[in-house]
Chains A and B, each alone.
Chain A
């Protein structure tokens, strides 16, 4: 009798243990596939609603090719949702959304994507975005901003970049202050005209220190031009040795294509946030929420990353080379969020006056 009981206990406990283990494994495994995990019921419901709506309209700066690839991937896992995308910089889009809403027209877009969070601040101010706790709760994302109104689609890290043929890794500046070293004088630096990294530094250092730094750097006779791509190409072409204002992922991509460029995870490291938000008056609310959440998952990010090299670069959802390098160097990060973007804006305006702005 005792023998049978013992055997049964062993079997039962091992089965239970096995089940628990399996459960853990399953959970752990599914933790990577964000969507089918915790809260998967809610997600399934959301998907059902999305499928019924059938379409999601997203406006933002993302390249059309990426959406085409996303559609292919989405169709495999979650068929029935058509992505209608409109590629443009966010500024005119934001204005049109506001104008349309003012005119009492129904919204013609579900999701607005920003190049950086500041760009969609006007929509936040006018409370035109819907908060959705499900992204954090059900999708398990941590890159969620503005009280659950935005999902981080990718980050844009603003390091100091250098041309590795002209500058050895040893000589490359390791801090922002090193930029005023006289060895960088004489058209050796190129800076993107909107001075965003410095504006972000100002939120940590204070406006005065940031402005002082910029003024000193300006005496280095840098090349100043607007447009990150122009900056990156100038660096790749050897026109300059150091570039500020171009993104880490761009440098990685150029590196992959064979350019002799690299970047330094200098501290503090400014990181912009490109996020997607759903409008309160979105014509396809379920599809919008679903797709926005999906964009933040590893799966969604991977499509983008494989095409353009952009992804979340900080936080739990981060993937990719830049993310790894940042993790390895772990510098202090200045992340753009709704808490500091007004401050960034103000400092940016102040810095703009150094370059000709009147206000």
Chain B
């Protein structure tokens, strides 16, 4: 750039580039490096011999192809369940005049606040063919004989269902902000041309939020491919193995050292998929000016009255809230008052005790863990959002002039989602155990790990939101004499606020629950609630673990309330 001297913007770009590159490249290189090492019984940096053996194994193994095929089915199935629901909710809660939508918007997010370990148990307790409450109830209602069924959660369908539902809160958060910002004249024109709500939505609304939908699609494809919660819980029994199953076995052989070489080779495959998806996304959102919906002309999304569709919509929301939110949370509460799991009965009600809630605070390490977790969540959220907004700004606004750099930044911000958590953990251990910067063994190394990973979700969301903000709004600020940073602060950030609030909440909640990286990186002084829950569970203190889980949910609810309040205030101030 021909500029007289380095401007604030150049500094910011440089710093962002360096920071994100640093955060991402370190685990990435570790991944690639480890994948060409023979790591049976050795850590990647212990051996000097390089080998392609890991890749050879993956490509030659007869198990690989069925693995990939199942992964494809599982991914498509889960997305088919989760994304349409998320899109429907985003539309209903942001664009329609459905009553009670503020409440529902909060409730939808509750499943996300329950640590996945505990919610997994909740699902089994609900859907197990024999004793799952839903099945028991259904049998009674429909009048089926036999002791099993009708719903079998241990199947591909069951897995897709649970995973799909799992995705809804995150997908909703990613997409909702884009629905909120709509130039009403676009939809009004469609209405004037005689189209009804359905047609308008399909032909006008959805295409405009296409970048957000695409971003969600590619993000969650990688999420499902990489996540092991559901395949671990249901997949073994259902005899469905997916890519993350293979990665699990490579990393949890429970014999001292993970097989990082194999895990990394598999992780590299996931990474290659992520790169490919990113490339497609980039092509499809190339001419992004046409997606700008926040212009100067208007920003009053009209709340569409559903008329006759109100009841079905409410019914849908009601069913979802009941099945995906209420039931699992109730199971969590139930687990927290039971010494061991038993379905509700006279006996088990008799055993119920709320002592756990009273005793939990006597343990000083719990208090410390809660404190650590709160700090961790807030700092990670702030760091992630800051980086994310900067990344998005450069990716969206500088795309024309510095296309290659923008593409690079967008891609590396997205990639960490594809790197297995423990690889990120190992990478950070390896680097910081030697580094003069004393973050090893502190909370900050965990912040670093989480920021790296959550940058993916965050940058996808803020980028989609920024695409909707017309560039001329910022140019007008420039013409009014405001330097780059003031424009960012007074124009861009306030207009991005809905997306930023969503991201803040998402990152904070996930940071509170994140387990794999925390387990690798934490210290006695940096105990966090997620590791505490996990170790309580391992030690058989199921009730205590559930109590902490409930606490976590309440903490997240507090955060959510704060976010909603903020949103509500902003909403009233400029709509």
- The chain A residues found within 8 Å of chain B, CB to CB, are 61, 63-65, 84-92, 94-96, 98-100, 102-103, 105, 108, 115-116, 118-123, 125, 186-187, 193-194, 196, 218, 222-230, 232-234, 236-240, 250, 253-254, 257-259, 308, 341, 345, 348-349, 352-353, 355-359
Residues of chain A within 8 A of B184, CB atoms compared: none
B340 interfacial by beta-carbon distance below 8 Å:
yes
B256 interfacial by beta-carbon distance below 8 Å:
yes
Residues of chain A within 8 A of B246, CB atoms compared: 356-358
Complex contact A222–B237 (CB within 8 A): yes
Sorting the interface of chain B by its residue count into under 10, 10 to 19, 20 to 34 or 35 or more gives 35 or more
Given the known inter-chain contacts A100-B433, A230-B121, A238-B131, please indicate yes or no for A257 contacting B245, CB distance below 8 A: no
Complex contact B236–A193 (CB within 8 A): yes
Complex contact B342–A237 (CB within 8 A): yes
Complex contact A233–B253 (CB within 8 A): no
Q: State A117–B424 Cα separation when bound (angstroms).
A: 27
Residues of chain B within 8 A of A193, CB atoms compared: 232, 236
Complex contact B63–A358 (CB within 8 A): yes
Residues of chain A within 8 A of B342, CB atoms compared: 236-238, 259
Complex contact A308–B539 (CB within 8 A): yes
Complex contact B542–A84 (CB within 8 A): no
Contact digits for B294-319, partner A, Cβ 8 Å, 1 yes 0 no: 00000000000000000000000000
Residues of chain A within 8 A of B40, CB atoms compared: 359
Complex contact A236–B64 (CB within 8 A): no
Q: State A345–B45 Cα separation when bound (angstroms).
A: 22
Residues of chain B within 8 A of A121, CB atoms compared: 41, 255-256
Closest to A199 in B: B255
Complex contact A237–B341 (CB within 8 A): yes
Task: Return the contact of B258 from the options A91, A254, A356 (Cβ within 8 A).
Answer: A91
Task: Return the contact of B519 from the options A88, A236, A259 (Cβ within 8 A).
Answer: A88
Closest to B519 in A: A92
B94 interfacial by beta-carbon distance below 8 Å:
no
Complex contact A84–B524 (CB within 8 A): yes
B254 interfacial by beta-carbon distance below 8 Å:
yes
Task: Return the contact of A358 from the options B57, B523, B524 (Cβ within 8 A).
Answer: B57
Residues of chain A within 8 A of B425, CB atoms compared: 92
Interface of chain B residues 408 through 443 with chain A (CB within 8 A): 425-426, 429-430, 433-434, 441
User: In angstroms, how far is the closest chain B Cβ from the Cβ of A38?
Assistant: 34
Residues of chain B within 8 A of A98, CB atoms compared: 43, 46
Complex contact B125–A348 (CB within 8 A): no
Interface of chain B residues 259 through 276 with chain A (CB within 8 A): 259, 262, 266
Q: State A199–B403 Cα separation when bound (angstroms).
A: 55
Complex contact A63–B539 (CB within 8 A): yes
Complex contact A91–B256 (CB within 8 A): yes
User: In angstroms, how far is the closest chain A Cβ from the Cβ of B158?
Assistant: 13
Interface of chain B residues 354 through 411 with chain A (CB within 8 A): 363, 365
Residues of chain B within 8 A of A119, CB atoms compared: 254-256
User: In angstroms, how far is the closest chain A Cβ from the Cβ of B303?
Assistant: 45
Given the known inter-chain contacts A61-B535, A308-B540, please indicate yes or no for A237 contacting B343, CB distance below 8 A: yes
Task: Return the contact of B433 from the options A64, A99, A120 (Cβ within 8 A).
Answer: A99
B32 interfacial by beta-carbon distance below 8 Å:
no
Q: Which of A223, A230, A345, A357 has the most CB of B within 10 A?
A: A357
Q: State A88–B519 Cα separation when bound (angstroms).
A: 7
Complex contact B539–A223 (CB within 8 A): no
Residues of chain A within 8 A of B542, CB atoms compared: 229, 233
Q: State A33–B249 Cα separation when bound (angstroms).
A: 44
Closest to B259 in A: A359
Task: Return the contact of B148 from the options A118, A186, A358 (Cβ within 8 A).
Answer: A186
A-B pairs, 9 with minimum CB distance: A357-B249, A356-B241, A224-B236, A233-B341, A356-B245, A257-B339, A237-B341, A122-B256, A92-B520
Residues of chain A within 8 A of B531, CB atoms compared: 87-88
Q: State A352–B245 Cα separation when bound (angstroms).
A: 11
Q: State A243–B351 Cα separation when bound (angstroms).
A: 23
